Structure 1
């Protein structure tokens, strides 16, 4: 038990790999979108239909930056699932990339009092799971540190020191509703999570593999 705990203490999300049918087309899209430094791409023809059970979220400084990322994504071929708008928690919108990946761009700021910085403060991989508490316990057992927990509704894990990525859990149906899509979906999630420990698969079928952290963005 002591050895497992010591090894697990270093566990964190180090990379996200999207499985796409056309890596070159996806690379062009994500470069134009402005998020290519945060993800990796891998060719895959794995069968998938409907909601893939996750979203990638960009947390930014203000509404102008939200609009900038949404506009860049749409110009590069994304579909708007939810137009950027104010809400109780801030301002944000949801887009779907041509490869099918859903992205949410949001800020807690409601007033548009700054320019479009095109800078990402945080990127969150939000997994839609059937049982939040059970999956939380599973990941804690793998060595991820819980940084925030809201009962059986939402869980957030601490990010690694050298990674811009954060992992969070939400009820699958609640996540689909928040994104504006039906919750039904089958087949591959079309995403592979890179961790600082060994390979495993979580209770909802999300696959992890050993991966080195993303390289720092050149200054």
Structure 2
């Protein structure tokens, strides 16, 4: 198995409302089969799929899915960009879990929950500067 993730799927109680939230952040949908909303990212895709449908597809009861201890992270070039995106997310309906602030590890970050509780970390990491096309790599792309 290669070290990459192709698709992250979020189980959604209300796919249309959750899709509207991500569209309010400026994301654009791509064509997708009925019942699935997809947003292409840089080399991956974020999919939204009905929670009941996801459970059925996996062959498990929906109660077993819950919310795990997982965060999705979005890194930016500056602390000011972090503040701006946190404000945009809140205006779009996100709940601020932790306001952006200096981090113990030397960066700047905050956390928000989308309208269905999926947690996003919004960060500026000076030790992992973004590369060409805003691509992220742990410890950056330095020479």
TM-score band w.r.t. shorter chain? 0.5 to 0.7
Counterpart check, 1:96 vs 2:103: no
TM-score (norm 1): 0.43
2:80 counterpart (64, 74, 80):
64
* Rg larger for: 1
CA contact (8 A) 1:58 1:120 kept: no
In structure 2, the gaps of 5 or more residues are 28-38, 53-61, 127-132
Could you give the per-residue CA deviations for residues 4-63 of structure 1, whole angstroms, max 9, x where no partner exists?
xxxx3x4521111111011111111011124544311101132355x5220000111001
Deviates more, 1:37-46 or 1:51-60: 37-46
Query: Which structure has greater strand proportion?
Result: 1
In structure 1, the gaps of 5 or more residues are 1-7, 110-118, 124-146, 149-219
Instruction: Give the length in aligned residue pairs.
Output: 107
RMSD: 2.5
Deviation of 1:99 after TM superposition, in Å, equals 1.1
- Rounded to whole Å, the distance in 2 between the matches of 1:42 and 1:120 is 27
Structure 1 consecutive aligned stretches of length 4 or more whose deviation exceeds 6 Å: none
Determine which structure has greater relative contact order: mean sequence separation of CA pairs < 8 Å that are 6+ residues apart, divided by chain length: 1
- Rounded to whole Å, the distance in 2 between the matches of 1:121 and 1:70 is 20
